[in-house]
Copies of this chain bind each other. A is one copy, B any other.
Amino acid sequence: MRRETLEDNLTQLRAMLDETGPLVASAFRDASEALLWDRPRLAEQVVSRDPVIDGHRDAIELLAVETMNIHQPMVTPLRSVITALRCAQQLERMGDLARHIAATVVRNGDRVVLAEQARPLFRDYGARVAAMGDKAVEVLRTHNVVLAAELRDDDDVVDALHRQVFELMFGPDWTAGVPAAVDAALLARFHERYADHCVHLADHVVYAVTGGTVDELPAL
C-alpha cells in the first residue's frame, strides 16, 4: 500500500467538497419546495438528512487537518487546504439553514405555514436563493470566478426581496396575523442568510484561486 501524496489528498478534498455541495443545494431546494407546497414529509426528509451534511463537514475537516499535519504543504497548496476547511464550514451552515426552513414546516404539522398573501413573494425568493445555491456549488466545482462575481448582484436582488417581505407584513394589507408574520420573518431570514453564505462560499473559492477578493478582479 503506497502512502498518499499531498496531491492525492488535495484531489480527495476537492472530491469531498464536490460531493457535499449538491447535497446542500438539494436540501435547500427541497426545503423551499416543502414550504411552498405544504409538504411536511419532504420537510422531514430534509431535517433527517442534515446529519449527513454535518458528517461530510467533519470528514473534510479531518482530512484537511491530516493533510496539513502530514505533508506540511507550502503556500499555494496550504491555501487550498484552508479553503477546503472554510468551504466545508460554509456548506454546513447552509445545510443548517435549509434544515431550519424544513423544521418550521415540520413543526407546523398539517397547518399551513406560509400565509397565502406571502406565497407569491416566497416563490420568487425561494427560486432565486435556490439558484444562488446552485451557482455557488458550481463555483466550488469549477472555480469559475465570473460566476462568483455574479453572486454579488444576485444577492442584491435577494436583499430587495427580503425587504419586500417585511414591507408586506408591516403594511396595512397584512391580514394573516401575528403567528404567520413571525413565521414569515424567520423564514425570510433563513433565506437571506443562506444567500449570504452562497456569496461567502464563492468568496473563499476566489481567494483560493486568485489570492485576492472578488472586488479585486479586473472588470469584465
Residue ID in chain B nearest A81 by CB atoms: B65
Task: Report A71-114 residues with CB < 8 Å from chain B CB.
Answer: 72-73, 78, 81-82, 89
A30-38, A137-145, A180-188 - the one binding chain B: A180-188
A121-129, A166-174, A199-207, A208-216 - the one binding chain B: A166-174
Q: What is A's interface to B at a CB cutoff of 8 Å? A: 61, 65, 68-70, 72-73, 78, 81-82, 89, 166, 169-170, 174, 177-179, 181-182, 185-186, 189
A174 to B182, CA, bound (A): 13
A72–B73 CB distance below 8 A:
no
User: Nearest chain B CB to A57's CB is how many angstroms away?
Assistant: 11
A-B contact pairs, 30 of them (CB 8 A): A61-B82, A65-B68, A65-B78, A68-B68, A68-B69, A69-B69, A69-B72, A69-B73, A69-B78, A70-B72, A72-B72, A89-B89, A166-B182, A169-B178, A169-B179, A170-B178, A170-B179, A170-B182, A174-B178, A177-B178, A178-B178, A178-B181, A181-B181, A181-B182, A182-B182, A182-B185, A185-B185, A185-B186, A186-B189, A189-B189
A16 to B178, CA, bound (A): 44
Contacts of A185 in B (CB 8 A): 182, 185-186
